[in-house]
Structures are given as C-alpha cells and as structure tokens.
C-alpha cells in the first residue's frame, strides 16, 4: 500500500460522507493504491451506520469501531496500527483541515522528508478557542520542556519508518505531537488554511479537557513536575529561614513582641497546602506507573469493516 489516511471519528456524523469523498478524490490523484481508515470512537450518534454505508460503497474505505470511547489519541493509535501504507496521513474528521491538502503534504515529503506537518493559518475559531489553544500549547511547552507550535496539530504525513518507530514506544498515555518529536527524523511543514466547521457544531475539546490533557500528558512524558516540587520546597525553606531571621532581629532590636498564634496559623495552612499539592503530583505519577505496569491496551476494537 502506498498511502493510508487515518481519521478518528467522533461527533461529526453529517460530515463523514463528504470527508470520505474528499479524501478519495485527492488520494486517487496521488496513487490508485490507497486506503482510508475511519476509526469510530463510540460517538453518541449514528456515525457507525454512516461508516457502514461508506464502507459498503467504497472498498478503499476501512472501518474500525472501538468498543467504547477511548479518546482521540488512542483512536489515532488504532488507525496507525491498522495502516499498511508506506506513507500515512492523519487528519481530523471535522473537515476544518481540508483533505485536498494531503497532496501538498505528500509532495513535500517526496523532497526527502520523513514527516511533514500542516501548519494551520488564519484559523476561524472564536476568541476563546484561539486563546485556549495558545494557553494549552504554552502549558504543554512549559510542563514538558518541548516547544509546541499552536499552528500544528494532528494533520500530518508520516513515512512508514516513523510509524514503526512510534509503535515501539510502549507508553499507555500517548500524545503524537510529542511522540513524533521524540523519535526524531527529518521533518518539515506546509502552510494550509483552517476552515470553519460546516455542521455548526463546536469542537468536543473543551478548555477543561485541554488542561486535563496537558497535565496528564506532561506527567507521562516529563519529570519536570517533580523538579518543580524540589524547587518549590527549596523556595519555601529559604523564605521561612529569612522570615525567621527577620522576626528574631525585630524582636531583639526593636523589642516588639510578635504574635505567635498568627504566624503559626498562617505557616501551618501554607505548608499544608504545599504538602497536599506535592502529594497530588506524586500521586498522579504513581497512578501513571500503575496504568503502565498493568500493560492494558490503549484501545479495544469491537468490529472491523473491509479489513
């Protein structure tokens, strides 16, 4: 297989037929040897029935139905595991990334690149979505120590050797914009427009979900939070030491009695908050270790079509 196109599907049933049509149109221009893999992530609508119709009408289209909702990254993982192409493209199902630009990614890759990303320009999202995306990427960059480009998401094309390298990573928590940086290889990007959704729906990625993803992913891919605990503890110790010296000098020089109950009350609650925060961060790390050592799969397939 020359080209595989993977699309995780959730919450966009009215767009799926147009998605498959547009992908087929551009893929057939590149090569007759292509496959389209639609990974249905237990969407609470009639997406499965629509994918069945698409698969029945076009044998190039393959359907994967997950047993429950696992999330976008596990759905991408399922599609990449099933893809057999020498080149593999990943794009969302909402048509905000026009499938017609798959050809531009493929042609750029033929210049000698192993990964080519779509750099989204002129995004039509509202203020909260735009600023939320910037905040998410800043948070990810800070927590992981890897600079994140807010214009780049999942829309990309990968050479087979990149896919095979990422498959070797046994992480239970998977986030491909970080994984593809870790494996390396020669990369480039192509500027593409970012269209509005035509079905009138908002993205299912709320700000709360973005923050949860940033925290979970950063802890799974980095130990920076643990280092922050050390720095925080050191800072508190220094502040406490300086405060003790100031209070002692104030008492000795000025003869002013310092209220003991107030300082004790404030310091106890301050330290209690720090201890709870530290325990929470450590608990998340332990929870991730617990999930990793159990060795559970990141997804479970309930049904396959045309495979």
Asked which of 9-13, 15-19, 138-142 is least confident by mean pLDDT, the reply is 138-142
Residue 69: is its pLDDT beyond 70? yes
201: phi then psi, degrees, rounded to nearest 5: -95, 155
Four-way CATH pick for 3-210+297-305: 1.10.3720.10, 3.40.50.2030, 3.90.550.10, 2.40.30.160:
3.90.550.10
Indicate if the pLDDT at residue 5 is higher than 90: yes
Residue 293: pLDDT band (50, 70, 90) is confident
Residue 189 contacts residue 244 (beta carbons within 8 Å): no
pLDDT at 145: 62
Across 39-48, 103-112, 267-276, least confident range: 267-276
Examine the pLDDT at 254 and tell me if it is beyond 80: no
Domains of the chain, residue spans:
3-210+297-305, 224-294
Q: Where are the alpha helices (DSSP H) in the chain?
A: 16-30, 47-57, 72-82, 102-109, 127-144, 160-167, 176-183, 207-221, 224-249, 260-294
Mean pLDDT for the stretch of residues 272-278: 72
pLDDT above 90: residue 152: no
Please state, in angstroms and rounded to a whole number, the distance separating the CA atoms of residues 190 and 263. Answer: 59
* pLDDT at position 201 over 70: no
What is residue 149's predicted lDDT score, i.e. its pLDDT?
61
- At 232, list the tokens: 């925080």
Task: Judge whether residue 214 has pLDDT over 70.
Answer: no
Mean pLDDT within 101-126: 81
Q: How far apart are CA 145 and CA 226, in angstroms?
A: 13
Given a cut of 70, whether residue 299 has pLDDT beyond it is yes
**pLDDT, position 271:** 73
Q: In what order do the strands lie in the sheet with 115-121?
A: 187-193, 115-121, 152-159, 87-90, 3-9, 34-40, 61-66, 301-305
Residue 63: what pLDDT? 93
- In the block, residue with structure tokens 């479970």: 300
Contacts of 175 (CB under 8 A, 6+ apart): 73, 213, 217, 220, 221
């Amino acid at each position: 297989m020359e080209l595989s196109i993977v699309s995780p599907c959730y919450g966009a049933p009215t767009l799926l037929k147009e998605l498959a049509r547009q992908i087929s149109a551009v893929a057939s221009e590149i090569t007759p040897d292509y496959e389209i893999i639609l990974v249905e992530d237990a969407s609470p609508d009639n997406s499965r029935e629509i994918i069945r119709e698409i698969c029945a009408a076009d044998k190039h289209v393959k359907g994967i139905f997950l047993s429950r909702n696992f999330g976008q990254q596990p759905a991408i993982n399922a599609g990449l595991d099933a893809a057999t192409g020498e080149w593999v493209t990943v794009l969302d199902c909402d048509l905000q990334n026009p499938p017609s630009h798959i050809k531009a990614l493929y042609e750029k890759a033929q210049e000698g690149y192993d990964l080519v990303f779509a750099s989204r320009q002129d995004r039509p999202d509202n203020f909260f979505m735009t600023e939320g995306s910037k905040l998410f990427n800043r948070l990810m960059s800070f927590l992981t120590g890897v600079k994140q480009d807010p214009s780049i998401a999942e829309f990309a094309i990968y050479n087979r050797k990149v896919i095979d390298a990422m498959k070797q990573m046994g992480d239970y928590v998977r986030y491909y914009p970080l994984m593809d940086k870790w494996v390396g290889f020669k990369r480039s990007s192509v500027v593409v427009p970012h269209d509005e959704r035509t079905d009138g729906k908002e993205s299912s990625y709320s700000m709360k979900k973005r923050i949860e993803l940033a925290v979970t992913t950063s802890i799974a891919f980095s130990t920076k939070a643990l280092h922050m605990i050390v720095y925080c503890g050191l800072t508190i110790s220094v502040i406490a030491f300086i405060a003790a010296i100031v209070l002692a000098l104030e008492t000795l020089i000025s003869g002013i009695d310092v209220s003991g109950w107030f300082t004790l009350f404030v310091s106890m609650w301050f330290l209690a908050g720090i201890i709870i925060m530290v325990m929470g961060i450590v608990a998340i790390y332990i929870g991730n270790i617990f999930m990793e050592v159990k060795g559970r799969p990141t997804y479970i397939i309930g049904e396959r079509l045309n495979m």
